[in-house]
């Protein structure tokens, strides 16, 4: 993608930016790498469907097994047009597996440094030095927003922040294993938001539920307030989902020298947006948990 930008800069030719961008970030049954002599170079991924048994094949051999792809790029029965039970390892699924494994390795390597060194006597170096300010930032955020029992929730908040940040940075990379659009997939953001939702409501205090179902308000408001509070609790994960999902810039039009230079600026800005997105999601999650942990005297 960057190579295409540079070529167009020198040749001053117009290209369809939206087509290039969304071709790289869309979910597919193969992972497109580049083009060589006019032919696409891609990693084939296994299509796995449950339809009178389990069938495994690649996208190029879908027709041999009686399947094709609809206009949305989804696998369907070639005869009926119906979608089978599709548990294929698509581009986003593979990216999810790889990014989670890479993040786990980074965390374990960081923990290994702390096991072998005394952090009170020696400043962290290498990977540990890069991870410590991020972890401490989330730790301080949890302490401020949640209160005395913040340590119980710090691991979840730290996991959410690092996972979102790590996948955002991978999504910016135009080459393998980057380029997947995980945080732009509403199913992914919904799962993260539901994790916060259940963390909040499974750890709510009696005071938290009293304020929802038996608030101290005038009598004529008592039948109305529980409905409003329940709706508010449900809307919190919806809000988190949309905040995390709605981060895709709408690009279009032709490619000119000015638009290329502006695109370079946007790439730099995207790094900042990647951090802010992870920070806002984590901060809101800690605030929601803190509200649910309030005691009566507060």
Residues in the chain: 298
d(C-alpha 180, C-alpha 91), whole Å: 7
For residues 50-74, average pLDDT: 86
- 258 burial via Cβ count (<10 Å: 0-12, 13-18, 19+): exposed
For the cut 80, the answer to whether the pLDDT of residue 158 exceeds it is: yes
pLDDT in tens, 228-244: 777 777 777 777 777 67
For the cut 90, the answer to whether the pLDDT of residue 254 exceeds it is: no
- Residue 121: per-residue pLDDT: 84
In this structure, what DSSP letter does residue 10 have? H
For the cut 90, the answer to whether the pLDDT of residue 257 exceeds it is: no
Sign of CA dihedral 21, 22, 23, 27: positive
Measured CA distances, 192 to 13, 164, 219, 242 (Å): 41, 9, 38, 11
Q: How many CB atoms lie within 10 A of CB 74?
A: 13
What string of H, E and C letters represents the secondary structure of 74-89?
A: CEEECCCCCCCEECCC
* Residues 107/159, Cβ–Cβ less than 8 Å: no
Q: What is the mean pLDDT of the chain?
A: 79
- Residue 266: per-residue pLDDT: 66
* Residue 181 φ/ψ, nearest 5 degrees: -110, 65
For the cut 50, the answer to whether the pLDDT of residue 223 exceeds it is: yes
* Residues 149/139, Cβ–Cβ less than 8 Å: no
For residues 149-174, average pLDDT: 89
d(C-alpha 205, C-alpha 202), whole Å: 9
| Range list of H helices, 117-185 | 127-146, 154-172
pLDDT band at 261 (very low <50, low <70, confident <90, very high): low
pLDDT in tens, 172-198: 777 777 777 787 788 888 899 999 999
């Amino acid at each position: 993608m960057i190579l295409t930008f540079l070529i167009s800069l020198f040749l001053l030719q117009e290209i369809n930016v939206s087509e290039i961008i969304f071709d790289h970030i869309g979910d597919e049954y193969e992972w497109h790498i580049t083009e060589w002599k006019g032919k696409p170079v891609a990693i084939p991924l296994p299509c796995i469907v449950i339809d009178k048994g389990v069938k495994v094949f690649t996208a190029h051999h879908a027709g041999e097994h009686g399947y094709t792809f609809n206009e949305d790029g989804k696998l369907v029965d070639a005869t009926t047009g119906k979608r089978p039970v599709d548990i294929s390892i698509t581009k986003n699924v593979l990216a999810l597996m790889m990014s989670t494994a890479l993040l786990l390795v980074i965390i374990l390597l960081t923990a290994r440094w702390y096991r072998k060194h005394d952090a009170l006597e020696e400043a962290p170096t290498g990977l540990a030095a890069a991870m410590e300010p991020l972890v401490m930032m989330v730790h301080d955020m949890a302490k401020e927003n949640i209160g005395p029992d913040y340590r119980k929730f710090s691991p979840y908040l730290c996991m959410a922040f690092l996972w979102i940040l790590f996948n955002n940075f991978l999504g910016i990379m135009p080459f393998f294993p980057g380029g997947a659009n995980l945080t732009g997939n509403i199913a992914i953001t919904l799962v993260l938001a539901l994790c916060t939702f259940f963390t909040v409501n499974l750890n709510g205090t009696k005071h938290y539920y009293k304020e929802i179902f038996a608030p101290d308000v005038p009598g004529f408001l008592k039948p109305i307030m529980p409905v409003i509070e329940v709706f508010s609790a449900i809307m919190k994960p919806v809000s988190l989902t949309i905040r995390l999902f709605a981060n895709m810039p709408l690009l279009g039009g032709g490619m000119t020298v000015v638009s290329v230079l502006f695109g370079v600026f946007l790439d730099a800005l995207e790094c900042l947006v990647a951090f802010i997105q992870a920070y806002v999601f984590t901060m809101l999650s800690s605030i929601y948990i803190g509200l649910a942990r309030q005691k009566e005297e507060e």
